[in-house]
Structure 1
Amino acid sequence: MVSEVFQPPSPAAVPVANPRQILATRDLAALNERSNLEGSVRLTAHLAIIGLSGYLWGTGSTWLALPSLFLYGISLAFMFCAMHECAHRTAFANAKLNDGAAWFAGLLSFYNSTFYRRYHKWHHRYTRIAGKDPELGDLEPENVLQYLWQLSGIPWWQGKIVGHLKTAFGQLDNCYFLPEATHAEVIRSTRLQLGIGVAIALISTTLGHPWFLAKYWLLPLAVGQPFLRFILLAEHTGCSSDDNPLTNTRTTLTLSPLQLLMWNMSYHTEHHLYPSIPFHRLPKAHQQLKTHFAHIEPGYLNVNQKIVAAFK
């Protein structure tokens, strides 16, 4: 199995009594500044990549179609990152913009933001705490076969299809992170999302394009999922199983194009330490906080190599 912490804390890590009081109130207030402009520019850029790569996938020559499919699939799957940021209501200064963009991003990436917002709130409140963090319900790989199974995206597809259908039929008994007062809203939102998918399939079939949804959504999303799994495995795998955000979460330094599609989510320790900081301020927060972190890795390939090397 993967060791609880597969690498010792960085010698540069500076211990603190209360991790969430590292930043002074004034410094945190400056980092917390949200911007409709920053959110709009990033969302427009992300959608432009999806649109251009999708167009080239659908109409490009053979030699261009395959790389376009990979970029299209990755950018489509990484709309999860846009939904994640908007679900925190930090992508935009306007709450309605956050909620609308989160729902749309979830539609593209096969998440439901109404459900995810409550689910993810519990993940932040009880990060890595067994029995409380809902993300621990996802299998953490203990050998190479489990690792490859996770990367395939198949468990994710199974979880999403079953989860969406159960939610649509009102089966929320095991969703302890959903207050009962939110059940009707979550059910309604999920039904609407699934209804849109069904409507697109019916309309495209009527218009003579029965494979439209498969070609422009199912296949690309299936291609992009392994890349997203590769990224998400790095966030907490091998980190401490306690409530210390300086040791239970990992920041991974990566290239600017990937940061763009990830909405800077690679600065994950910063995000868990101060979820109120919007994506465009996370690089600055990193400079102020990095000396306190136990896990900072130079690249996702490096992290995943260490995850595999730690299997016993």
Structure 2
Amino acid sequence: MTQLALDKPTLRPARDLLTTSPLETALVVGYALLLFAAPLGLLVATLELAPQAWPLAIPLLLLAAYGLFLQGILGHEGFHFNLSDNRLNSCLLAVLLSSMLAGFCVTGYFVDHWQHHRYNGSPKDPDWRLLRRYRLALSRLLVSRLHATAWYLLQTVRLALPRANVSGTLPLPDRQIRLLARANLACQVLWPTLWLLLAAKWPLLLPAIAGCLLLALLISALNAYQEHAFEASVVMPVARSRTARLSTWLHLGSNYHLEHHLYPRVPCWRLPRLHRQLVASGWYEGRQALLEPHFFGALRYCKARFPYAGAWQAMPPRGNHGQ
């Protein structure tokens, strides 16, 4: 067994890495929406004018799918309170944007995700319990995310009920979580209604969005294993950072997932800067196993020989890295 020494870095992020910025939030949201809408609109317009141009569909759909996937990333960031100084506003924006992913309810995800940070990689980690059961690449890609999405939806429905109680320690009062759950379910109706209205004018829009959703589902499923699947010989790794520039563009910086676990209050688009500071400090020396420098090289972590979170065995707690 290989046990990595994962003591928390002594590096303290500068205040500008931690402070929310309305301008940055607007730019980041705009970037994610543009990455989704521009290739999708170009595809629909092109196929309406020239149906024989269908070979353009795959690359344009893939780009749009990454833009749609980023709405889920923004949902994650909003519930880490990185989109606004006001926690509730950050979460409401997260709900609105992430609901573009049909069926994905970020409120139910948030309840599990907070425990994921607290118990990362151990049997108390909800993600460990859910994702470790899938070993083959096909089941990881096609089943794991459907399972997780259905679970988050059920959790959100439960949380939306009057007097619903939330298990575990969370940074929001129950009444706000109930409000967010209800807003989440409303937005799950809002976005499909908007697509149907737009499809009355552009009929090709619906199959194009369906294709984007399918690809975004696959991207999201693969992403979980790229972040947390390690060789079976590695004991309790925290997470992996993927450092390819293409990963940063397509993942909005969330590809630096180890940095996120170490400093979850740093917005994902600032994680590349934090990573460079950690490298300069020497913290990564001897920890290269936690880095993946190649965009396509990261695809291999979907294979069975990389179990979710490596090997787990009873060990002294690493300490809480904060939420």
Which of 155, 159, 166 pairs up with 2:148? Answer: 159
In structure 2, the partner of 1:286 is 275
Q: Following TM superposition, by how much is the alpha carbon of 1:304 offset from its aligned partner in structure 2, in angstroms?
A: 3.4
Contact 1:74 1:228 (C-alpha < 8 Å) held by counterparts: no
In structure 2, the partner of 1:52 is 38
What is the alpha-carbon distance in structure 1 between the residues aligned to residue 73 and residue 205 of structure 2? 22
Q: CA RMSD in A?
A: 3.7
Q: What letter corresponds to residue 54 of structure 1 in structure 2?
A: L
In structure 2, the partner of 1:101 is 93
Q: Following TM superposition, by how much is the alpha carbon of 1:264 offset from its aligned partner in structure 2, in angstroms?
A: 0.6
In structure 2, the partner of 1:260 is 249
Write the mapping of 1:65-104 to structure 2, written as runs, cut at 5 A: 65-93=57-85, 95=87, 97-104=89-96
Q: Following TM superposition, by how much is the alpha carbon of 1:149 offset from its aligned partner in structure 2, in angstroms?
A: 1.4
What is the alpha-carbon distance in structure 2 between the residues aligned to residue 160 and residue 108 of structure 1? 13
Q: TM-score, normalised on structure 1? A: 0.75
Q: Following TM superposition, by how much is the alpha carbon of 1:282 offset from its aligned partner in structure 2, in angstroms?
A: 1.6
Contact 2:78 2:90 (C-alpha < 8 Å) held by counterparts: yes
Could you tell me which runs of 5 or more consecutive residues in structure 1 were left unpaired when the two chains were aligned. 10-14
Which of 29, 41, 48 pairs up with 2:27? Answer: 41
Cα distance change on mapping 1:278 and 1:78 into 2, 3 Å: closer
What is the alpha-carbon distance in structure 2 between the residues aligned to residue 96 and residue 171 of structure 1? 16
What is the alpha-carbon distance in structure 2 between the residues aligned to residue 207 and residue 264 of structure 1? 32
Higher relative contact order (CA 8 A, sep 6+): 1
Cα distance change on mapping 1:174 and 1:234 into 2, 3 Å: farther
For this pair of structures, how many residues does the alignment match? 289
Write the mapping of 1:13-52 to structure 2, written as runs, cut at 5 A: 19-20=7-8, 22-24=10-12, 27-52=13-38
In structure 2, the partner of 1:122 is 115
Q: TM-score, normalised on structure 2? A: 0.73
What is the alpha-carbon distance in structure 2 between the residues aligned to residue 275 and residue 248 of structure 1? 13
| Residues 256-281 of structure 1 deviation map (CA, whole Å, 9 limit, x = unaligned) | 4x313322111111111111222333
Contact 1:168 1:188 (C-alpha < 8 Å) held by counterparts: no
| Residues 1-52 of structure 1 deviation map (CA, whole Å, 9 limit, x = unaligned) | xxx76xx85xxxxx57xx335114xx44453233222222111111112111
Contact 1:167 1:186 (C-alpha < 8 Å) held by counterparts: no
Seq. identity, %: 22
Matched, 1:136 2:128: yes
